[in-house]
A and B are shown apart, each in its own frame.
Chain A
Amino acid sequence: MRIQLKNLSKQYQDTEVLTNINTEIREGEFFVLVGPSGSGKSTLLRMIAGLIPTTSGQIYFDDQDVTNDSPKDRHLAMVFQNYALLPFLSVQDNIRFGIRNLGLSKTEEEARIFEALNMVHLLPQRHRKPKALSGGQQQRVALARAIATKAPLVLMDEPLSNLDAQLRSEMRQEIVRLHKEIGMTLIYVTHDQVEAMTMGDRVMVLNDRQIQQVGTPLELYNRPKNAFVGEFIGSPRMNIIDVQVDETGQSIQLPFKQKNGVSMAYHLTEAIPSGRYRLGIRPEDLQVSFVDQGSHKQIMPVKIEAVANLGKEAVLTVTNSDSNLVVNCKTQVDSDCRQAFVKLPSIVDQLHLFEAEHGNTVDLSDKIAAEQRGVIDAIS
Chain B
Amino acid sequence: MTWLKTINRYFWLIFLAVITIAPILLGVWASLLPTADIAAGNFMSTHISLANYIGAIQTTPVLRYITNSFVTSTLITLGELVFCTLAAYVFVFIDFRCKKQLFFVFLITMMLPFEAQIIPNFQTIRSFGWLNSYAGLTIPFFASAFGVFMLRQAFLKIPSELQEYSEILGMNHTRFLMGIVLPYSRSTIVTFVIYMFLTHWNAYLWPLITTFTDAYRPTQVGLKQLQAEDTFSNWGVIMATAILILIPTLIVLIIGQRYFKKGLNVGGAKG
Contact = CB atoms under 8 A, between A and B. Distances in A.
Contacts of A100: 169
B188 to A, nearest CB: 13
Contacts of B267: 87
Interface string A140-178: 000000000000000000000010000000000000000
A310 interface: no
B16 interface: no
A353 to B, nearest CB: 43
B265 to A, nearest CB: 8
Nearest to B267: A87
A84 B270 contact: no
B170 A72 contact: yes
Contact of B168 (A72, A87, A130): A72
A50 B170 CA distance: 11
Looking at B167, B186, B270, the one whose CB has the most chain A CB atoms below 10 A away is B270
A87 B269 contact: yes
A100 B165 CA distance: 13
Contacts of B268: 87, 131
Contact of A78 (B168, B183, B269): B168
Nearest to A87: B269
A51 B160 CA distance: 11
A97 B184 CA distance: 14
Contacts of A83: 269-271
Nearest to A80: B161
Interface string A64-85: 0000001111001110111111
A298 to B, nearest CB: 51
Contacts of B168: 49, 51, 71-72, 76-78
A88 B184 contact: yes
Contact of B165 (A80, A129, A162): A80
Nearest to A145: B165
A255 interface: no
Interface in A89-106: 89, 97-98, 100-101
Contacts of A135: 270
Instruction: Point out which of B165, B168, B171, B184 has the most chain A C-beta atoms below 10 A from its C-beta.
Output: B168
B162 A101 contact: no
A50 B270 CA distance: 27
B169 A88 contact: no
B269 A71 contact: no
Contacts of A162: 270-271
Contacts of B179: 97
The residue among A49, A76, A87, A89 with the most chain B CB atoms within 10 A of its own CB is: A87
A82 B170 contact: no
Contact of B269 (A70, A77, A85, A97): A85
A45 to B, nearest CB: 11
A276 interface: no
B165 A138 contact: no
B54 interface: no
Nearest to A75: B168
Contacts of A77: 168
23 contacts: A50-B167, A51-B164, A70-B167, A71-B164, A71-B170, A77-B168, A78-B168, A80-B159, A81-B161, A81-B271, A82-B271, A83-B270, A84-B159, A84-B161, A86-B180, A86-B183, A87-B268, A88-B184, A130-B269, A131-B269, A131-B270, A138-B270, A162-B270
Interface of B: 159, 161-162, 164-165, 167-171, 179-180, 183-184, 186, 265-271
Interface of A: 46, 49-51, 70-73, 76-78, 80-89, 97-98, 100-101, 129-131, 135, 138, 162
